[in-house]
């Protein structure tokens, strides 16, 4: 993005933060296709991508006054989209895992179903404990299968930062999920 685009975004973001709906609409038009493509890449589902972008834009409108650097509005919007996409992926994974395990759980009884459900709640809780940037990085790698280079480019951070975030996420999840290994 050029310096002029960044400056225009900053002005639009400042005006939108002051309640200018038209300025926010222009920001949305400027970045909607990028945000949808980003969400689609994360979710691999058109419906989930559309929902994630819509949820993100609602959140962005509410949180615009908290934006510290209006010149970084595109990255800020992408971070919100990634968070919303992560939520959708997580919800879909939980549903898929429950569906995948349903025959075995039915055959083995309610105890196995309850255990699986508890494990999924624990994983969700463990992921929720991670800082946003670490959770998003982990999700891009482990759920979406993005390479370190792709993640670094999407999040506008060095590859070394991606490695560090992934190491922190994996260490945290390993520690929190230790009970699974014992059972």
All structural domains of the chain with their residue ranges? 3-182
- Positions of the chain with pLDDT under 50: 101-107
CA–CA distance, 112 with 115 (Å, rounded to integer): 5
pLDDT at 106 (0 to 100): 42
pLDDT at 27 (0 to 100): 95
What CATH number matches the domain at 3-182, 1.10.10.10, 1.10.420.10, 1.20.1250.20, 1.20.1260.10?
1.10.10.10
Instruction: Give residue 157's Cα distance to chain centre.
Output: 16
The closest of 143, 151, 148 to 89, measured between CA atoms, is 143
SS3 83: helix
Q: What is the pTM of this model?
A: 0.55
Q: Which residue is listed with tokens 């922190």? A: 168
How far separated are the first and last CA of the chain, in Å rounded?
51
pLDDT at 107 (0 to 100): 38
pLDDT at 93 (0 to 100): 67
């Amino acid at each position: 993005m050029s310096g002029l685009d960044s400056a225009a975004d900053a002005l639009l973001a400042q005006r939108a933060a002051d309640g200018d709906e038209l300025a926010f609409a222009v920001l949305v038009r400027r970045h909607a296709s990028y945000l949808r493509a980003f969400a689609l890449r994360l979710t691999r589902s058109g419906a989930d991508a559309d929902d994630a972008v819509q949820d993100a834009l609602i959140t962005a409108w509410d949180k615009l006054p908290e934006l510290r650097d209006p010149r970084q509005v595109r990255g800020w919007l992408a971070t919100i989209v990634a968070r919303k996409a992560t939520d959708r992926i997580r919800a879909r994974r939980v549903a898929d895992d429950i569906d995948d395990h349903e025959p075995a759980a039915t055959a083995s009884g309610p105890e196995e179903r309850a255990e699986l459900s508890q494990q999924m709640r624990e994983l969700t809780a463990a992921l929720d404990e991670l800082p946003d940037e670490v959770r998003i990085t982990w999700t891009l790698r482990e759920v979406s299968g993005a390479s370190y280079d792709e993640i670094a480019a999407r999040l506008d951070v060095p590859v070394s930062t991606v490695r560090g975030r992934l190491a922190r996420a994996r260490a945290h999840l390993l520690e929190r999920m230790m009970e699974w290994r014992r059972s």
